Amino acid sequence: MLREAVRQLQDWLGAESAKLHSDGWPALKQAEVEFGSTEKSWFCHIRVSSCLLEFHHPRKPSLSPSDIEGLEKFAELLQELLENPELSRDLFSMEEEVQDLIDTSLHLLASLTPDGIIRSINQRQRTARIGHPIWEADWLSQESRPAVERAVARAVTKRVAQAVMIRTARDSSYEFLVTPLLDEEGEVSWLVARGRDTTDRERMRDVLLEEREFLGAVLESMDEALIVCDLQARVTLSNAAADRRFGLRMGDSVADKVVFLSEDGKRKLPFEETPFGRVLRGEQLRDVKFSCRDLDGDLRKMTASGCGLVSADGDSYGVMIALNDATQQLRAEQALVDSERQLRALFNFQPNAIFSLGPNGIIHRCNPAVESLLGCSPEKLQGVSITSVMVERLGEKADFKGEREVKFRRVDGEIAWGLVTTVSISDSEGDLGVMWTVRDITERKKAELALDISNRKLVASREMERMRLARELHDGAVQNLLAVSYRLQEPQLRDEVVEVVRQLRGLISDLRPPGLKEFGLAAALEGLLAKLKRQAGEEAPEMELVCLNCDSLSENVSLCLFRVVQESVNNVLRHARASSVQVEVTHASGEVFLRVKDDGVGFEVPEQLSHLTREDRYGLAGMVERAELLSGVFVLTSSPGNGTEVGLRLPV
């Protein structure tokens, strides 16, 4: 009996070794249970009568207080049985009954009379009383008490152990076993009742069932064909994807159902070269590409992963293979490769220069067209800043919006003009940089420069012609008319000639600004406004002139400003019906600013100032041309009822 107890307790404690010492120990009147540890292991010693049960384990097991109490109760009960001379020795030869006794000693152990009255009990809950029926214990639920009473009665009647599943008052599951002990005449002398709490076991079973259902659902929902087969390559487990693609069922031979082909798809692979054959030979596969035919006979590109299955004893009992249909993925990858080739060809053969810039303006990549723009190969530009090949740095970041004309410096020192268009590049993780597309406009800029020079010469020639004409009129026609007027005797004719002379002098003043060269811009403008106000008569608006630092301006700039003021004020007098006109000229910080503002009726300004000629506003168009010839900026602001403002900014 003690040797059986040793075995049972060793299993329960999870001990690696157990010893039973039955000789040489002094007899004890009371059982002892001792726990301890050494440097190498944890141990438990149980002294019963003259015997010692010794258990060893590498580490201390997890024992609850109730487990320790159960060990102590078991030792006490065993001590009582060994020292009771009235008990028959046949009792200790009943291995099955003693086995039940030991199995239950750590849970619930009670000795009962044949009518179910408790004689002694090793109870985990102190709610069953000696001398009372076992089915009246408080730890039993009301619904389970009749079942316990019936189990006791059947054990006595049938003389065999009776088991019943019951519920406790705390709604725990219990396995209750009643075992009859027979005397020499075969009659039931007393009963042994054992109770084992199976709540955790049932919960674990439910969890395992749920896990099994969950794993089954996962396997069935997988798009990969999962196949488990034995060492003879017969299917022992497969999911829905394997059935859908290959028609596999349990017991099928994978060699017959799944046909693997060579890379060109023309030759059937021998079984040893298939994923199943290779794994059966001991290989482990990870996303290895194969070609095979599916249930419909279509050629599919698959990736196979697999490994061997080994039991706890180290014996191989099968393989598991996962086949993933990569046909669409490979098609997408091929399409991506083709797309990249097309984009690379488009990038390389684009006639415009393309720069791929990082967020810091560093050139990551450029196409061959940059060589015609800058005279430098694309390889030499990679890794350098875009500003190193520009004549002037941009005032903004490299990812400016819209188009921008930029001057580049070629390797040979020449200047190249480019019209730059930017495209920002980013992905889900953030900004990757900017792409510059540069159209070479060097020839156009040269043509514009030549045209600008030609226009400047034309304007200068026109002004010189005006001055020549004014001089000829003043020195010729005006002087002759004055001489004629002196010889005329009739006053009316003389007055008419004098009036013609006055008109000619006004025309000469328009052709050649009086005093501009001799006295400066401020004096010329003051004279111009006085003359225009005098010509307008009583309906002339109030005119205010402000000139700051205008004495040092060049003749071309002064003439441009004079002509713009002249044309602007004439327009006010002709069309604006204004009551006041303000003329301001300011020279500061290397620029000169002109503003002519009136409070007249105003008008709708076209979107493009070049459209002014379509409306026969040649005077305004002329002002725009004068500003552009001097690299200036002309601004016209007006709206009906809000007057008009002419603005001009010229570099000096």
Select 222-331's CATH number: 3.40.1010.10, 3.30.450.20, 3.30.1360.120, 3.40.50.2300. 3.30.450.20
The stretch 261-289 carries a mean pLDDT of: 87
| pLDDT value at residue 13 | 67
Taking alpha carbons only, the member of 219, 216, 256 closest to residue 235 is 256
Contact predicate 596/569, CB 8 Å: yes
* DSSP per-residue letters across 155-189: HHHH-S-EEEEEEBTTS-EEEEEEEEEE-TTS-EE
Lowest-pLDDT range of 80-94, 111-125, 437-451: 80-94
Please state the pTM of the whole predicted model. Answer: 0.36
pLDDT in tens, 185-201: 778 888 888 777 777 77
Whether 222-331 and 520-652 share one fold: the answer is no
| pLDDT value at residue 404 | 83
The stretch 429-436 carries a mean pLDDT of: 76
Evaluate whether the domain defined by 2-168+176-193 bears CATH number 1.10.1200.10.
no
- Residue 512: phi and psi, rounded to 5, are -135, 105
Q: Which residue has the higher pLDDT, 164 or 222?
A: 164
With a pLDDT cut of 70, the percent of the chain lying above it is 80
Taking 80 as the threshold, does the pLDDT of residue 286 lie above it?
yes
The 10 Å Cβ neighbour count of residue 382 is 13
Taking 90 as the threshold, does the pLDDT of residue 288 lie above it?
no
Taking 80 as the threshold, does the pLDDT of residue 359 lie above it?
no
Mean pLDDT score across all residues of the chain = 79
Q: In sequence order, which residues have a C-beta less than 8 Å from that of residue 367 and are 6 or more positions away? A: 347, 348, 350, 353, 354, 378
The C-alpha atoms of residue 220 and residue 237 are separated, in whole angstroms, by 11
Select 520-652's CATH number: 3.30.565.10, 2.120.10.70, 3.40.309.10, 3.40.50.300. 3.30.565.10
| pLDDT value at residue 553 | 86
pLDDT in tens, 605-633: 877 665 565 555 667 777 887 788 788 88
Taking 90 as the threshold, does the pLDDT of residue 594 lie above it?
yes
Q: Which two tokens stand for residue 317?
A: 């009992």
- Name the band, by pLDDT with cuts 50, 70 and 90, for residue 643: very high
Identify the CATH class of 350-438. Answer: alpha beta
| pLDDT value at residue 595 | 94
| pLDDT value at residue 38 | 80
Taking alpha carbons only, the member of 231, 222, 340, 239 closest to residue 276 is 231
Domain boundaries, the chain: 2-168+176-193, 222-331, 350-438, 441-512, 520-652
The C-alpha atoms of residue 480 and residue 182 are separated, in whole angstroms, by 167
pLDDT in tens, 530-586: 888 888 888 889 999 999 888 788 878 888 888 888 889 988 988 888 999 999 999
Taking 50 as the threshold, does the pLDDT of residue 99 lie above it?
no
613: Cα separation from own chain's centroid = 55
